Amino acid sequence: MLHMSKVYLVGAGPGDPELLTVKALRLLQNADVLVYDRLISDAILELVPSGVTKIFVGKANGHHSLPQAEINDLLVALARNNRRIVRLKGGDPFVFGRGSEEALHLRRHGIAFEVVPGVTSAAACATYAGVPLTHRGLARGVHLITGHFRDNEPLDFDARALADPDATLVVYMGLANLPGISRRLIAAGLPASTPAMAVQNGTTPAQQRVLSDLRSLPAKVQAAGLEPPVLVVIGRTVSLSAELDWFSPQREQEDVTLDAGVGI
């Protein structure tokens, strides 16, 4: 009789290992096989026991270690070997993580699965950059969109619906298309002076942010040389970033070093 194991689709959060959920950490430390993405930080991978088989299936813009269809089939094949499988995904599996596609593929092949939510980058990276997604009098709603379509299809979004000054707009994977996104939002009526921010490697010691207005953000991001992963936040709450800027990547790095030298 063929025995099949459960596949755990686990959100790793945006990079800071301390943002892992307790459940995610437990599953990582009890896995037989770890299938992980490009955005999984080294600090998180260091929490995985040495005996765990690690399979990298990361994707970058235009460069796939494995196409999504092959990742889906890999998960099914691994499950049929009756092993404890963790599919680790950056952020949250169901927020631009294609976790639902993998879950549907598993279900159609009779494989049990469980989804473990993670802290999504929109909330975490904005918070670590001193920007609340909502704030009374500034933003009463949030829009989450992707700035990059699969297979490099042309970016298509309803700019008029998103050009809402009373909401915060968060763009995942929008670095390459940022100039066009900015132009379209302004043409749809969002003021060019709307505060805007781009954050690279949010929540990690390598975090870097660029603050600007909507019109100038693409040029300032290019001048700063930001590279993926970059999250873009557009809206009036970005104006609070100076007052709410609590995270110091340099200080975090110093704290880690000091902790490592303390004996128990």
Predicted confidence pLDDT, tens digits, the chain (264 residues): 344 589 999 999 999 999 999 999 999 999 999 999 999 999 999 999 999 999 999 865 555 568 999 999 999 999 998 789 999 999 999 999 999 999 999 999 999 999 999 999 999 999 999 999 999 999 999 999 999 766 566 778 899 999 999 999 999 999 999 999 999 999 999 999 999 999 999 999 999 999 999 999 999 999 999 999 999 999 999 999 999 999 987 555 444 433 444 332
Phi, psi for 201 (deg, rounded to 5): 55, 45
Catalytic residue among 37, 89, 92, 164: 37
pLDDT value at residue 162 = 97
CA angle centred on 141, ends 140 and 146, rounded to 5°:
155
State yes or no: is 37 an active-site residue. yes
Statement: the pTM of the whole predicted model exceeds 0.85: yes
What is the enclosing helix (H) or strand (E) of 85? strand 85-89
47 Cα distance to chain centroid: 19
Structure tokens at 242: 């100076």
Q: Which of 226, 210, 155 is nearest to 184 (CA)?
A: 155
d(CA 239, CA 212): 9
pLDDT value at residue 82 = 75
Helical packing angle, 178-187 and 217-224, nearest 10°: 170
pLDDT value at residue 253 = 47
pLDDT value at residue 260 = 41
State yes or no: is 59 an active-site residue. yes
pLDDT value at residue 250 = 59
Catalytic residue among 23, 32, 54, 59: 59
Q: What are the CA-CA distances from residue 208 to residues 83, 138, 261 (Å)?
A: 39, 24, 27
pLDDT value at residue 254 = 44
pLDDT value at residue 64 = 55
Q: Please report the domains of the chain, with CATH numbers, ordered by start residue.
A: 7-119 (3.40.1010.10), 122-240 (3.30.950.10)
